[in-house]
Amino acid sequence: MTYTQLGLSAVVIAVLIDVVGLRTRMVSRKVFWVSYGIIIVFQLITNGVLTGFRIVRYAGDYIIGSTTPVDAPPPFIGDGRLIFAPVEDLLFGFALVLITLSTWVWLGRSGIQRTPKSGPPRWLK
C-alpha cells in the first residue's frame, strides 16, 4: 500500500470508530473542528521540523505527486508536500486526534474515572 492509501484508510477507520463504534460523533461537533484547527497548526510545525531537517525522509514514489528523491532536500511547499512534510501526514494526524478525542469522550460517558477525583491513590493511604 502507498502512504496515501494508508492515510485514507486511517481516516475512514477513525470516522467509523467515532460514528459507529463508540457513537461519540465527534466529527459532527463544532468543538472538535475548533480543536482540530488549533492542533493542525502545531502538527504542521512539528512535521515541518522533522521533515525539513531530514530527520524523517519519505520516498517520493509513495506520496501524492512527489518526484523528489529520498536523498534530495524536500521542497517547502509543492511536489506533494506542505511545509516540507507529505500532505498525507495531515490524514494520519486527523485520524490520531479523532480517535483520541472519541475515546476520551467515550470513557467519560462510561463512567470510567478515578475515585477520588484528586489526591493520592487510595492504596497509598
Reported as a single tens digit per residue, the pLDDT across 15-49 is: 999 999 999 999 999 999 999 999 999 999 999 89
Judge whether residue 8 has pLDDT over 80.
yes
pLDDT of 120: 65
Nearest Cα residue to 51 out of 20, 77, 14: 77
Per residue in 73-100, pLDDT (tens digit) is 887 888 888 888 888 889 999 999 999 9
CA 76 to chain CA mean position, Å = 20
* Cα–Cα distance, 1 to 61 (Å, whole number): 11
Task: Give Cα separations from 18 to 14, 21, 23 (angstroms).
Answer: 6, 6, 6
Q: How far apart are CA 77 and CA 87, in angstroms?
A: 10
| pLDDT for residue 116 is more than 60 | no
The model's pTM: 0.79
d(CA 26, CA 102): 6
pLDDT at 4 over 80: yes
Query: pLDDT at position 125, please?
Result: 57
- So what's the pLDDT on residue 38? 94
Comparison of pLDDT for 50 and 109, the residue scoring more = 50
How many CB atoms lie under 10 A from the CB of residue 2?
13
DSSP category for residue 74: P
What is the rounded (10 degree) CA torsion for 111, 115, 121, 122? -130
Give me the pLDDT at residue 99, please.
96
